[in-house]
Amino acid sequence: MRIEGFELRRVGMPLVSPFRTSFGTETERDILLVRAVTDTADGWGECVAGADPLYSSEYVDGSADVMRRFLIPALERVGTAAEVGEALKPFKGHRMAKGALEMAVLDAELRAAGRSLASELGSTRDTVPCGVSVGIMDSVPELLDAVGRYLAEGYVRIKLKIEPGWDVDVVRAVREAFGDDILLQVDANTAYTVADADHLARLDEFGLLLIEQPLDEEDVLGHADLAKVVRTPICLDESITSADAAVAAIRLAATSVINIKPGRVGGYLEARRVHDVAVAAGVPVWCGGMVESGIGRAANIALASLPGFTLPGDVSASARFYETDITEPFVMRDGHLDVPAGPGIGVAPIPDILDELTTSREWISV
């Protein structure tokens, strides 16, 4: 396969409602899509960097810039998706940008070969269970209304975003309203410190699946110390940037569950390696979400169908975040989504919708 070039396309996608976490509130996603054009097929990738460097050091303008100036020119002699990571290795960081390029090349390669991403990664199921991430809200009654709607829609797991001042009492209210049988977990997005260990231990009484990333992403030892105080399983997200990072966290007993986000680790091939490391260590994994469009959502669903993904992930239906998706919408049935079976990621943007939402586009030859 010979790569001819890449189209960088920015799309603005309004959210159906504001999504608030401990590091900010989103009302619209500024998404960078990547189209790889090759001599055999085109492929699509999605960069999950946010508008601002809050979740991670990456941000969408920076991702576009590093692709344009450094990453894409380095792919001149690349002929397979497996070669992308090695070609980009000299450039430090920028995993979300690298992952988007690799995803686009991988999609093109698999489309040309008539193989699905799910089968390529090692899928073992046709559907995956859906969890939903519920943001921080203005009041507990508003939160309870939202959780009730999501449960009525069929979501099999609820994740609550938390921060200091919006944690123990909020979780208690959800448990009292909906009972102990619902699968419930919380996500702090690095909002706490080790000094909050005793406070976080108050969450133990609620039978949570896990506490996700309570401390700073670089504080792996702090998570190991926290795990000695808190009975609820500690799950790492931002701290897991590669398979090697996963190995280190597991050996240090800093995590007993891992959230795998392909963009955060540099792509779906590295995400599979993280999965394999976790399976070998007996550590359950689940697929995190980054408010992706249908492009990224399709690939995440494929990843979530691997055997080690034993917990429901943030692979919600399109309607959770978008009134109009850029692909055919993903619709949940009985709390599950179908794994795309077509070549590549199995979906493609709908041209009219894509054009309507596009804010800029740029062609870069290789």
Residue in 92, 98, 159, 261 annotated catalytic? 261
Yes or no: say if 169 and 194 are a contact pair by the CB < 8 Å rule. Answer: no
| Annotation marks residue 161 as catalytic | yes
On the 0-12 / 13-18 / 19+ scale of CB atoms within 10 A, 181 is: exposed
Smallest CA-to-CA distance from 266 within 102, 95, 72, 107 is with 95
Mapped onto helix, strand or coil, the DSSP state of residue 188 is: coil
Q: Classify strands 257-260 and 285-287 as parallel, antiparallel or unpaired.
A: parallel
Residue in 89, 98, 159, 161 annotated catalytic? 161
Q: How many CB atoms lie within 10 A of CB 73?
A: 12
Q: How many CB atoms lie within 10 A of CB 196?
A: 17
Token pair recorded at residue 299: 């690939």
Sheet containing strand 24-38, strands side by side: 42-47, 24-38, 3-21, 358-365
Residues 6+ apart with CB under 8 A from 125: 305, 339
Yes or no: say if 273 and 264 are a contact pair by the CB < 8 Å rule. Answer: no
Question: How many Å apart are CA 88 and CA 74, to the nearest integer?
Answer: 7
Extract the runs of DSSP E, i.e. beta strands, from the chain: 3-21, 24-38, 42-47, 127-129, 131-134, 157-161, 183-187, 211-212, 234-236, 257-260, 285-287, 336-338, 358-365
| Annotation marks residue 261 as catalytic | yes
Q: Could you tell me how far CA 184 lies from the centroid of its own chain? A: 18
Report the DSSP beta bridge partners of residue 5: 37, 365
Question: How many Å apart are CA 340 and CA 170, to the nearest integer?
Answer: 36
Q: How many CB atoms lie within 10 A of CB 54?
A: 14
The residues assigned a catalytic role are: 161, 261
